[in-house]
Amino acid sequence: MLEASKAGKLTRVAIDAMGGDYAPEEIVKGAILAAQKGGVEVILVGPIATIEEELAKYDTSGMAIRYVRADEVIREGEHPALALRRKPNASVVVAAKLVKAGEADAIISAGSTGAAVATALTILGTLEGIERPAVGGPFVGFAPNTMVIDLGGNVDCKPYHLLNFAIIGCVYAQKLLKISNPKVALLSVGAEEGKGNDLVRESYPLLKNSGLNFIGNVEGNDIPDGKVDVILCDGFVGNILIKFCEGLGTNIAEWLKAKLRGRLSSNDIEAIADELKSLTNTVDISGGGPLLGVDGVAIVMHGRSRATQICSAIFTAKQAVDSDLIGALRSELKGIQQGS
Amino acid sequence: MLEASKAGKLTRVAIDAMGGDYAPEEIVKGAILAAQKGGVEVILVGPIATIEEELAKYDTSGMAIRYVRADEVIREGEHPALALRRKPNASVVVAAKLVKAGEADAIISAGSTGAAVATALTILGTLEGIERPAVGGPFVGFAPNTMVIDLGGNVDCKPYHLLNFAIIGCVYAQKLLKISNPKVALLSVGAEEGKGNDLVRESYPLLKNSGLNFIGNVEGNDIPDGKVDVILCDGFVGNILIKFCEGLGTNIAEWLKAKLRGRLSSNDIEAIADELKSLTNTVDISGGGPLLGVDGVAIVMHGRSRATQICSAIFTAKQAVDSDLIGALRSELKGIQQGS
């Protein structure tokens, strides 16, 4: 096992080894996959004996994997804030503290989402101007570079929240999707200015005067068309949309299987249905995404994440760190506050 | 042509012969299709010469079709309220007046939606307790008996609006979808009580105590699964969802065509893609739906509606009239008001 010797140039990703339905097995396996690819040092956080037992199943010699002790685990269903107070040595907490202390560059957890978010907020805090972190990203496989934000916890928003989402979304699109000067739009019920609910109508002028590349309103059918780079909505709408997309895609895949039965080979049918599911259930593929607006790179994963998703999250974290996503967010948010 | 002689037992549907992208040709053709099926008397409303010219193309002898003169037409893009004032003899206005006067049982228009809604509101008015009519219905072909309401104009709602949608939705489900004791749910971001935005959380107790068969919250993925009969949301969320469904379905159909090329015959591929489009673009199939909450049966159609859609709307209107949808709505709304 490689100690910190080579870690100077590697992106150091702390991962909650005990978080997730398949922890620690799949987490450790994902860490190894990532270390094999290179460019990262993975720091597994959890009880030493458990981690050593898992690692012993593999030949990890020469790999940039190390581990940090944490003897407690926050379980799914525990009250996040209470658990955080009662278990200061929980794996997710210790992992976040490594980031706070500058000993790791990013944290990943597939454990209880509530606990992961609470930990990120308590230990890393939010960037100036952000009350609650947002979750965003492309969620329709047909528009892999169109990010929608917020998909998460901000269910009741004010116009300045949507402005913040716009800033976060643009920085994300620039840094993680490599889009320069991203086109930003409000999700609404009509293209014209004045169409929409109170939130959209009040946010419109704010965005128009933001200096961002704001192109106006788009409608629901514009999301899968990929014409816009950053689409803004409150987390209530975003969450319903992403789940509707998953449900509709799954229904269509099942319908398609029945439709094609006897006309193509079973293997071909399964492959088409699986591809369709992956195009509509993108969170199942990515396993999660960064909590945007937190003062540090923090990636929250589905509990059911497997090794390949953990590995992919480690490289998302690396990309966020290497492109200085947080620094760019901080300065953009500051720019808007000074401008307003 | 049959005059009012046989009309006593027929459902009398007044139709704006001049409204729609393909008016009067497709409107008249749709009226003839409906009259051939029987059970309805279609009253075409528009300039006499134009209607007669269209009707002359067909052998309509013995059919229950008549016409009523209206010499003005409200065009797409005209300001609805202004147009209504300036053109008291517009086809849509005259058609609505027939309903108001008891000379017709229902009105259908595929003309300017704004003008049709304004006409219905001005001439027929809303039922007691309703400020603005709602639009609702099943919109995912995989769940043909799950209606979502509101899909339309009520973009900013209060809890009592959602309660009204619930009542309207249940009556619609009973009368038009033939579901007894329909299961009602709030569309939200989590199943548990307390999950959701302010609107959902405040509406929850209201629905719980409504006497309706309220089963709690459902999420976006529950819509295409068809587990619930009536799903409540504000018109902002509903409109975005229905358009997203259309856009995603169209994207998947195109992807599927490319995927199947060379593996099935072109005809088979087109048939599958078309079926998928029809399952996800249900408004294209139905052409529109009733304005729910108006004091009369008023069906507003897409401008691009063709004869088959006009014909189908005529029978939706007939079903609404024959089942006394409006009477049932009126008494249910009154019951709730007295109960509260």
| Helix/strand/coil (H/E/C) assignment for every residue in chain A | CCCHHHHHHCEEEEEECCCCCCCCHHHHHHHHHHHHHCCEEEEEEECHHHHHHHHCCCCCCCCCEEEEECCECCCCCCCHHHHHHHCCCEHHHHHHHHHHCCCCCEEEECCCHHHHHHHHHHHHCECCCCCCCEEEEECCCCCCCCEEECCCCCCCCCHHHHHHHHHHHHHHHHHCCCCCCCCEEEECCCCCCCCCCHHHHHHHHHHHCCCCCEEEEECHHHCCCCCCCEEECCHHHHHHHHHHHHHHHHHHHHHHHHHHECCECHHHHHHHHHHHHHHHCHHHHHCEEEEECECCEEEEECCCCCHHHHHHHHHHHHHHHHCCHHHHHHHHHHHHHHHC
Smallest Cβ–Cβ distance between A247 and the set B220, B276, B280 belongs to B220
pLDDT of residue A339: 53
Flag if A189 and B239 touch (Cβ within 8 Å): yes
pLDDT of residue B4: 42
Q: Which residues contact B155 (CB under 8 A, 6 or more apart)?
A: A189, A196, A197, A198, B234, B235, B236, B239
Q: Which ipTM value was assigned to this complex? A: 0.90
Which residue has tokens 């929409």?
A: A196
Hey, of A236, A255, A276, which one would you mutate to test binding to chain B, going by the most B CBs within 10 A of its CB? A236
Contact between residue B186 and residue B150 where contact means Cβ atoms under 8 Å apart: no
Locate the chain A residue with the closest alpha carbon to B281: A221
Does the pLDDT of residue A112 top 50, yes or no? yes
Residues from chain B that touch A249, judged by Cβ atoms under 8 A, are 248, 252
Flag if A223 and B244 touch (Cβ within 8 Å): yes
pLDDT tens digits for A219-265? 999 999 999 999 999 999 999 999 999 999 999 999 999 999 999 99
Flag if B242 and A264 touch (Cβ within 8 Å): no
Does the pLDDT of residue B259 top 90, yes or no? yes
Going by pLDDT thresholds of 50, 70 and 90, the confidence category of residue B338 is low
Residues from chain B that touch A275, judged by Cβ atoms under 8 A, are 259
Flag if A263 and B264 touch (Cβ within 8 Å): yes
Residues from chain B that touch A161, judged by Cβ atoms under 8 A, are none
Long-range contacts of A193-200 (CB under 8 A, 24+ apart): A193/A217, A196/B155, A196/B236, A197/B155, A197/B156, A197/B234, A197/B236, A198/B155, A198/B156, A199/A157, A199/A158, A199/A159, A199/A162, A199/A234, A200/B236
Hey, of A146, A161, A228, A244, which one would you mutate to test binding to chain B, going by the most B CBs within 10 A of its CB? A244
Which residue has tokens 């209606």?
A: B147
Of B2-6, B73-77, B314-318, the range with the highest mean pLDDT is B314-318
pLDDT of residue A2: 44
- What mean pLDDT, rounded, does chain B reach? 93
Q: Is A270 on the interface with B (CB under 8 A)?
A: no
Flag if A245 and B244 touch (Cβ within 8 Å): yes
Measured CA distances, B284 to A191, A304, B21, B222, B302 (Å)? 20, 38, 14, 23, 8
Least confident of B4-13, B268-277, B327-336: B4-13
DSSP string across B61-86: TT-SEEEEE--B-PPTTS-HHHHHHH
In total, the C-beta contacts within 8 angstroms joining chain A to chain B are: 150
pLDDT of residue A37: 96
* Shortest alpha-carbon distance between residue B248 and chain A (Å): 6
pLDDT of residue A298: 97
Flag if A248 and B247 touch (Cβ within 8 Å): no
Q: Which residues contact B244 (CB under 8 A, 6 or more apart)?
A: A220, A221, A223, A224, A241, A244, A245
Flag if B219 and A234 touch (Cβ within 8 Å): no
Alpha-carbon span A35 to A29, nearest angstrom = 10
Flag if A263 and B268 touch (Cβ within 8 Å): yes
